[in-house]
Chain A
């Protein structure tokens, strides 16, 4: 059973094609991660699911229904930029947003969430007095207080410190466990890898990846060597059969050409320096992202 189904959806703004022939199916009670470079069409896709933007062509079904010109109280939405009335008090604005979604027991839900996010002491204060992290948590509560069945989060973890990010992450996982379908966009590949049942990547308006992390990684095979060497990245230059080297400082990732033998590469490296870590692995999501949207990929596309 799918919570969201998009079929051949296209959306343009003037001459810019923001989303191009996109098809997507989001299973119920799953966490679906949207990744992609800035301006690739993630937010536009979320807004179309939210029914804020209408597609130029194609169909979008949410809970099996096509909506147009009406809001859907079963969907909670956290926009990329925080939208809170600065002069309203925290509890007051959360109740307002909850009631706008026809939420049940809004007052009790608001107090529960404030307590969970350790914001009870701030409930009577104006939004303008909150820190950025607090505002983000308040905005998150506004999205979930009406107990939506589908939750759309546009970059929910951006700008949060690790403690608050953990609190938010746990809240999202708890909601999923309770049956909520969650779609969120993120630039943090680690978050996407760890949290999402499904990952979808959009690039220049087109879908370029869609599936579980395993499915996506299996398409690329075990073409990556993760290595730690005494002399660092300098010792790994001009290795035969290596297409690229990504230097993370203590660790480097080498991408092998198709048909290349890792044993020969290891022997070549051992001849140059001491090796203290060697691992043949599948590419990380970060690496896959860069392969698709990085400068080399863009140059290759231009050529």
Chain B
């Protein structure tokens, strides 16, 4: 067996035969699915404590309608129709006479909220029905402690505006009965694209996409890619540092070229990632097959996923190995781990904008930057938005070039750093080693 493969095989065995790997292999999907379950559970954990809201209606024409709307809501919307269980908080409206000194009244009501006698108060400006030039009078304002996450404000806007329309029609002398559908709200349905059946040539109706499905596919692919990089590439930092500190590296580089040593270790890490990803992909497919959901298996994406993963582990693995060779102890490793991890972590921080607009310029540009390509391109490809055919290939080309460069530079740093004992090399020294070898 060639020496590189000897190194790779040892590295692979040393990793997969550990209890940590086996436990991690089982634990990672459990943690991931556990996280999703926790998200679902936490979303259902709505605070159903009733909300006490004071209303100061300076128009004198809206509060009554609001009270009526709230009563309807409390009767019809806050209970589960099947079980009868309360699923939303009821609103308790208290209408308060407007005081002459509006500022003093606001302070008094604010203090009542602070004293937990109220949850919020609504102030309807005097000229809201027909807005005047005085902006202070033309607003509806909702005051509460948590201004970001109070669902009362979102709900209350609808009955207020409904009443405002009615009042404006009446003031204009228009009979509401002549246009009974005037207040009928029409939503916009979310639909996917229409497709053609490849066999029959028939035009299929568009599926109404499930939002969870739209998000779940790309997220699963990204998380899998991230996990594979963490399992195959990241441990190389620690492993190389140990080999350096235990003087094993000196024995190895007496037998193989430093470049072959790095490459062997990276191939070992790659084999670890391939093993773990094969287990997960095969497991996922088996689960979907059992559930009769094989149409959700992204067969066309799997070759891309594995190709990106191979290059990502090579790319990041050689970087981690080079950084590990520069570490003299665990403290060095902790210090250098963060900058080494950043290229892997950055795409995880920007998943939100990429997921919202996978075809946008921001997503496209970032997904073509080699360290971000494996996670972001695979995420874009697994989204419902079509990625132009050239982009994955360009991303792949960039990754290939970057992977070769990483291995070459990593090998040079490794060769210079692996027998360098005593002190932590500075960044400038690392750059010098990379250039001079």
Contacts and interface: CB of A to CB of B under 8 A. Distances in A.
Nearest to A99: B6
Contacts of B3: 100, 102
Contacts of A71: 253-257
A97 B251 contact: yes
Contacts of B10: 85, 96
Interface stretch (B149-157, B242-250, B383-391): B242-250
Contacts of B216: none
A73 B255 CA distance: 7
B27 interface: no
A83 B247 contact: yes
Contact of A100 (B14, B247, B250, B252): B252
Contact of A75 (B248, B249, B253, B254): B254
A267 interface: no
A91 to B, nearest CB: 14
B254 A77 contact: yes
A130 to B, nearest CB: 14
Contacts of A87: 14
Interface string B294-331: 00000000000000000000000000000000000000
Given A79-B247, A79-B250, A85-B14, A52 B419 contact: yes
Nearest to A87: B14
A85 to B, nearest CB: 6
A83 B249 contact: yes
A301 interface: no
Contacts of B7: 100
B1 interface: yes
B257 A81 contact: no
B72 to A, nearest CB: 70
A88 B9 CA distance: 13
Nearest to B248: A83
Nearest to A52: B253
Contacts of A82: 247
A53 B419 CA distance: 9
Interface string A79-116: 10111111110000000110111100000000000000
Given A52-B419, A77-B254, A87-B14, A100 B6 contact: yes
B255 A84 contact: no
A230 B7 CA distance: 64
Contacts of B6: 96, 99-100
Contacts of B254: 50, 52, 71, 75, 77, 79
Contact of B1 (A69, A75, A99): A99
B243 to A, nearest CB: 8
| Chain A contact residues: helix, strand, loop or mixed | loop
A284 B344 CA distance: 63
Contact of A86 (B1, B246, B257): B246
B247 A81 contact: yes
A92 to B, nearest CB: 9
A41 to B, nearest CB: 15
A121 interface: no
A69 B257 CA distance: 7
Contacts, number: 60
Interface residues of B, number: 20
A88 B251 CA distance: 15
A109 to B, nearest CB: 15
A50 B251 CA distance: 10
Max chain A Cβ within 10 angstroms of own Cβ: one of B7, B14, B251: B251
A100 B250 CA distance: 13
A142 interface: yes
Nearest to B252: A100
A84 B249 CA distance: 9
A85 B252 CA distance: 11
Contacts of A101: 255
A70 interface: yes
Contact of A83 (B251, B256, B257): B251
A60 B255 CA distance: 18
A257 B392 CA distance: 85
B1 to A, nearest CB: 7
A79 B251 contact: yes
Interface in B250-279: 250-257
A212 B89 CA distance: 98
Contacts of A77: 251, 254
Nearest to A100: B255
A12 to B, nearest CB: 13
A221 to B, nearest CB: 41
Contacts of B243: 83
Interface in A51-72: 52-53, 69-71
A139 B247 CA distance: 12
A82 B251 CA distance: 9
Tell me which of B243, B246, B257 has the highest count of chain A C-beta atoms within 10 A of its own C-beta.
Answer: B246
Given A96-B6, A99-B1, A85 B257 contact: no
B256 A100 contact: yes
Contacts of B419: 47, 52-53
Top 6 A-B pairs, shortest CB-CB distance? A83-B247, A100-B255, A83-B248, A83-B251, A77-B254, A81-B247
Interface of B: 1, 3, 6-7, 10, 14, 243, 246-257, 419
Given A71-B253, A85-B246, 18 more contacts: A47-B250, A47-B419, A71-B256, A75-B254, A77-B251, A79-B251, A79-B254, A83-B246, A83-B250, A84-B246, A84-B248, A84-B251, A85-B10, A96-B6, A97-B251, A100-B3, A100-B252, A100-B256
7 contacts: A82-B247, A84-B248, A85-B248, A87-B14, A88-B14, A100-B3, A100-B6
